[in-house]
Structure 1
Amino acid sequence: MNIQFSVESIEYLAEKLSDCRYLCDESLVYLTLQISATISNLLQDACKVLRKCRRNDLTTEDFAFALKLNHLEPMYGGYTTSSIERLLFHKIKKDNRILYHITDNIVQFDELIIPQSKIPLDIIHWLAVNGKQPEINENPIIDLPIRSTVLKKKLNKTSHIISKEQQIYYKELTEMCICSNEQKRKQALLILSADNSLQQILSRLILFISEGVRVNLTPTSTFDRSIILKYLMQMSDALLQNEELYLERY
C-alpha cells in the first residue's frame, strides 16, 4: 500500500500547525517522503490486524494497534470498539487558544483506601522472642501451653545451627585450647580474645567451658583435673577480653 503526499500539502500543514515558514525545498521533500512512508507502514500494519481479527471494516482500534506496534503515541479521544465508554474530546477556548480534553471520571477517595485486615488472635506476634510475645495492646493474653512448648522445643533445636565450616572451626579451636602444645594454645587464646567472627559459635564455646568445668569438678574424678580447669579458665578470660562479642545474654 503506497501513499504519496504532495509537497504542497506538507508545506501547508507545516505552516499551519508548526509555524515552519522557512523550510527549504530539500527539507520539504525529505519530510514528505518520511510522512508518506510512515503512513503507509501504519496502514499496512492496521490491515494486518484487520485480517487477523477476521473483519471487513477497518476501525480506529486497528490503527491504534498499528501505532503501538511502531512504538508511537496512541490516538487520544478516539472511539474504539473495545472501549467501555465513548471517549470524546471536549473543546475549551481560553486566551485565544483552543484546547481539547477528555473528561475524567470522578473517583471517590474512600474507594481507594484498602481496609486493614484484622490480625487473628491465635497468631503469635512477629516480635515474639523464644515463643513469648510482648505484652502490648495488639497482643491479647492467650493460654496456649501446648503450642508454646512445641515452639520452645523447635527453637532450642534450631537456634544454634551453624555451617559445616563453622563446625570445623569450633572443633579445631577447642582442641587447640586444651592441647599440651603451649604455642598452639597461645594462638587459640589470641583468636578468642580478638576474633570478631566468634559470635556465631559463642554459645557453643560457652557450653564447652561450662560442661568442661562441670565434668572436671565431679567428686568421682580419680586424678587431678586442675590443668584442664586452668585451660578452661584461660578460655573464659580470653572471651571476656574480646570487645567485639556480645556476652550480656550469657
Structure 2
Amino acid sequence: MAPSHSANSNTAKIPTSHTLWSPHDTIKDVADTLGITAHLPEEVSKNLAMDVEYRIHEILEQAMKFMRHGKRKTLTVQDVDRAMKVLNLEPLYGYDVSRPLVFKEAMVGAGQTLYYVDDDDVDFEKIINRPLPKVPRFTSYTAHWLAIEGVQPTIPQNPNPNEIKQLLPSQRGSIDNMFNLNNNDYTVATNPNTGLTSVEQAQNQKKDLDVKPLVKHILSKELQLYFDRAVAALKDDTNDTLRMATYESIRSDPGLHQLVPYFIQFIAETITHNLKSIDLLTTMLMVINSLLTNKSLFLDPYIHALMPCVLTLLLAKKIGPTQGTPDELNSHLNIRGFAAQLLGKMIEQYGSSYNTLKPRVTRTLLRAFLGSTTKNSVGTQYGAIKGMKYLGAEVIRIIMVGNLNSWSIAVLDNLDKNDENRKKLIDSVYECLSDLAKDAELIDGAAKKRKLNNEDSMDVDSLTEEQKEKLADRVGKILANDILSRENSVAVYNGIFFGEE
C-alpha cells in the first residue's frame, strides 16, 4: 500500500487557488502578451499567482470594512478605491459609480464571447480649452451658538435680522424659501401656467404648516446696565453694602434668566485669573450660592459649567497668598469649606436630574484624596475630605473609610507629629466619622440611640482590645489613637462598623 500511496501523491495536482477565478492561468496569459513565457518558470508563475490572489483578498477585505462602516450591503467602486489607498496602492481609474456600467459583447472566436465596458469618446480639444477648476478649500469647521434658550444671538453665522424682517411671516424660519437673495435684492419667479408667484405657491402648499419665526437674541439696555453695575459692585472691595445688595438681588430677582450664562462666564474667568485673591474667590462663591438659591432661575443646563468652578476652589493645590500671617495662609481652608457646602447643595438639588453627577464627583474627590502625598497637596486632600463630608454618610462609609488605612500610611506617616496641617487633616476626618456615628443613631432607632448614649458616657477603656485592634486595622493606627482619645470614641466606633456583624 505504501508504494501506491506515494505514486498517487506525486501525480496529484496541488491546487493554487480555491476560487473560481484562476490566477495561474491569468499569469500565463499576461506572460504570453508580454512575450516572456519562455523565461517564466512554472514554479515562479505559481508563486506569483498565489501572491496576486492574496493581494486581491486583502483589498477586498479592506473594501468590505468600508462597506460595513458605511452601513451598506453593496460593495462599490469607491470602497475598493479607498481600500487601495489605505494599502498605499495606486487607485483605479476610469470607473465611476455615478452612472451604471454598460457592458457590450463581442465575438472573438467560435463560441467565445468577450464582454467589455463601452467607453465614451473624449474630445481632447474641448478638454484642453476648458478653464481649470477652482482649487478646493481645506475642510474646516467652527462652532457657534445657534440659539441660547430659544433666542438667536446676533453673530455673522446666524441670519441677518434685517433680511428676516423683509420675509413674509409664513416664510420666517423656513428652510426652503423661494427668494433669490442677491445683494439685498429679491426676485420672485412667476409660474406662467398658474399666474401665481413662487411665494404664493409655497404659501398654498404650507397652509397647515405652523412655522416658528426666527427670533434674534435681544439683551435689553436695562439688563446690560444691570449686569455692568452688578459686576462693578462685585469687584469693588470698598463698598460691602453695595456688594451685599447685589447678592440679595441675584438671589431674589425673577427676571435674570437671560443673564445666567453671562454671570457664569464672569465667575469662571474671575476664578481662573484670581486664585490668590481670597476676597474675590469668596465673592464668586457667594454669587454661585445666590444663583442656586434663586428659585426663578432654571440652572439645569448650566450645572456642567458651574461644577468646574466649585471643584477648582475645592481641590486646587494653591489658593490664596503664598506669604503672610498664619491666618492669611490658612484662609484657603474657609474657601474650601464653603465650596464643599455648595458642592453638597448642587448634588442635592440637581442629582436627580443628572444621574451620573454624584458618581462622577465622587470619583474626582477620591482621586484627589489618594492622588498625591506631598506637602503641597494638603489643601487638595483637605478639600476632598470636606467634599465627601457633604456628599453624605454613604460616601463617607464606602469611599473614605474603605481607604483610610492606606491614606494614613501614605500621608499622615510622612507628616511631622507637630505639623499643623497634620492636625487639620485628622480633625477633618474625625468630623466625617462623627457624622457616621450620628447617622447610625438615626437609622438604628431608639434602642440603638439609648445604647450609644450610655456608651458615650463610658470611659475610653470601654472598648475592648480586640475592638481597638479592629479599629486600627480599618482606619490606621494614627487615626485610631486619635479616635480613642475623644469622648465619643465608642459612638464613632459603632458608626464605622454599623451594620457589620
- Shared fold, TM over 0.5: no
Structure with the higher fraction of residues in helix conformation: 2
TM-score (norm 1): 0.35
Q: TM-score if structure 2 supplies the norm length?
A: 0.18
The structure whose Rg is larger is 1
